[in-house]
Structure 1
């Protein structure tokens, strides 16, 4: 009986650990239905099915900016950077876990629901939060706190993977320039340079130091063109 109780306790430890970790009050893990260009639940299931059969070396987690790039799984969402994707990742197994219109909250939920289960990528590249700032109007502090919780979840799911955290890219809205800069400053502090690393590609994609995306790099002031 004692051995049975010890076995049950051992099995329950990961569940208790996750439940005990308090999430930021601004983080609300849930599915989303804001983007009608694809079906969120179908893509979620496609990612999980892919990872039952393919063990990727690299995984990208993000929103529509990542979703629009290229890679598997493919759905009805446009892919605008196939040439650069295959130039960079052609010989590697890579999963694109970009979901159009996702908040940090939605990415947390789908990882919580199994998208990273059973895999151990060499590197997980994370760029998300632009919809928290631009659509939901989260503060930089809330966006950074939510991202910190997401990184913690990723680390629990894939403890041997390195995480490359990317800064939020510039947008066309001038009233978001300061919020994006402050959020990126706070995101950079999440890098421990052992497991989590930070880079800010927006610095080379912006017009000078304006905080706005270069016109050649964007289709609409938010999403990247093939050049971007």
Structure 2
């Protein structure tokens, strides 16, 4: 093996990783992606076509990482375990765990970016097994300080179905089923991975976040993105504990607007105590509040997949999310209205899968900015219009838009409703409380 002692990024996997060596037009031209995202980071490609976790373990045991001290290992493995090897989810999970344990021992100062098994169309049984493996990985490595789990599977779907056009297998002479991302699919993968990889590498993204628009970041589950006035991970643990202590009839899900209203777990400050008490009365302390300041749809998806809603069967779920997706930061780009609605739909699917009997009330994004001409007002309106159209014929969703009730006739957002132009005052929460009380009555819900 050649001397690669200066390697800073190590890619380990099977043919999907091995493919970065190829530069065959048009479907397997992966070198441009490699040169943009990985080569500048002194990357070494240890992807081997056909490999399973057992093969990777053999390679590690035979010195492939000896003498290396990379900052990050990017690990994508397991699809051959559940594919031609026909291993069970449990067998594949044991294999991936063993690879990670081996890497942690051999590379004690290296961070590991673990990717979920990518979707394919090999068979329904493989798809179900892959989902089970990914669910296990998401829960097992949610807060490991050395391992970051990232599921980018959503980028391979279009309108709810696997997008075969970004896999090259169907265009091969043997017309295989979608398994290997093509030139465009591999570039989309790199874009989806890049923000997380840049953080772990301690460098800047190889492309500006605002330029990486081929993938919908609102759909890729990620944990904390922004620093706020509270401990994000501590609140997550408090949520997991709180749901064991109460049996809520109502669960509130959202960002800081929900977070700082009231309920359990207690927030470090509360903006709407009177409105909360007015709405929930004697049961005010038994409503579960899954609101997190600065959250975007992608954060909510991560939290749902880490068990915050598991085991709950509330009568009603109130979801207000999306306003932070409209804004950009050094950690995330702004999303389009279409992307935000797709993120909210993904949340709906996660919630319905866990509690199909619960009535879901999806709130429109509230107005932002003091003036009717505030730049974000148009984006809020466009997103809400798309949301209304999307859920119009969905019997499982009640869509509720109360934004106009916060505004004066000229479109001004009064300080009395939102002191900072974003977060409701107690009076503003009173408008939300009245709207929910009316909706609860119509649904026969008595929280």
TM-score under structure 1 normalisation? 0.87
Picking from 340, 364, 378, the partner of 1:178 is 378
Per the alignment, residue 54 of structure 1 pairs with: 246
Q: Find out whether 1:227 has 2:427 as its counterpart.
A: yes
- Aligned-pair CA distance for 1:33: 4.5
- Aligned-pair CA distance for 1:13: 6.9
Per the alignment, residue 126 of structure 1 pairs with: 319
Instruction: Describe how 1:18-167 pairs up with structure 2 within 5 A.
Output: 23=154, 25-26=215-216, 27-76=219-268, 78-92=269-283, 93-135=286-328, 136-167=333-364
State how far apart, in whole Å, the 1-side matches of 2:282 and 2:360 are: 21
- Aligned-pair CA distance for 1:177: 1.2
State how far apart, in whole Å, the 2-side matches of 1:167 and 1:221 are: 16
**Are residues 172 and 118 of structure 1, via their aligned partners in 2, closer, same or farther at CA, if it must alter by over 3 Å?**
same
**Are residues 56 and 13 of structure 1, via their aligned partners in 2, closer, same or farther at CA, if it must alter by over 3 Å?**
farther
- Aligned-pair CA distance for 1:36: 2.9
Q: Point out the more displaced range, 218-227 or 190-199.
A: 190-199
**Are residues 122 and 13 of structure 1, via their aligned partners in 2, closer, same or farther at CA, if it must alter by over 3 Å?**
farther
Counterpart contact for 2:253–2:319, Cα < 8 Å: yes
**Are residues 14 and 199 of structure 1, via their aligned partners in 2, closer, same or farther at CA, if it must alter by over 3 Å?**
farther
- Aligned-pair CA distance for 1:176: 1.1
- Aligned-pair CA distance for 1:35: 3.2
Query: 5+ residue gaps in structure 1?
Result: none
**Are residues 209 and 163 of structure 1, via their aligned partners in 2, closer, same or farther at CA, if it must alter by over 3 Å?**
farther
- Aligned-pair CA distance for 1:96: 1.0
Counterpart contact for 1:23–1:149, Cα < 8 Å: no
TM-superposition CA deviations, 1:82-131 (whole Å, max 9, x none): 11101111233311111000011001100111011111010000001000
State how far apart, in whole Å, the 2-side matches of 1:56 and 1:222 are: 28
Q: Point out the more displaced range, 57-66 or 199-208.
A: 199-208
Q: Find out whether 1:196 has 2:388 as its counterpart.
A: no
Q: Which one scores higher on RCO, CA 8 angstroms, separation ≥ 6?
A: 1
State how far apart, in whole Å, the 1-side matches of 2:344 and 2:272 are: 26
Counterpart contact for 1:63–1:99, Cα < 8 Å: yes
Q: C-alpha root-mean-square deviation of aligned residues, in Å? A: 2.4
TM-superposition CA deviations, 1:13-63 (whole Å, max 9, x none): 7945x98xx625312211114133111111111111111221110011010
State how far apart, in whole Å, the 1-side matches of 2:418 and 2:427 are: 8
**Are residues 15 and 160 of structure 1, via their aligned partners in 2, closer, same or farther at CA, if it must alter by over 3 Å?**
farther
- Aligned-pair CA distance for 1:209: 5.6
Query: 5+ residue gaps in structure 2?
Result: 1-87, 89-124, 136-152, 156-214, 429-447
State how far apart, in whole Å, the 2-side matches of 1:176 and 1:44 are: 29
Counterpart contact for 2:259–2:267, Cα < 8 Å: no
Instruction: Describe how 1:5-16 pairs up with structure 2 within 5 A.
Output: 15=131
Per the alignment, residue 120 of structure 2 pairs with: none
State how far apart, in whole Å, the 1-side matches of 2:390 and 2:318 are: 14
TM-score under structure 2 normalisation? 0.46
Number of aligned positions between the proteins = 217
Indicate the SS of the match to 2:349: helix
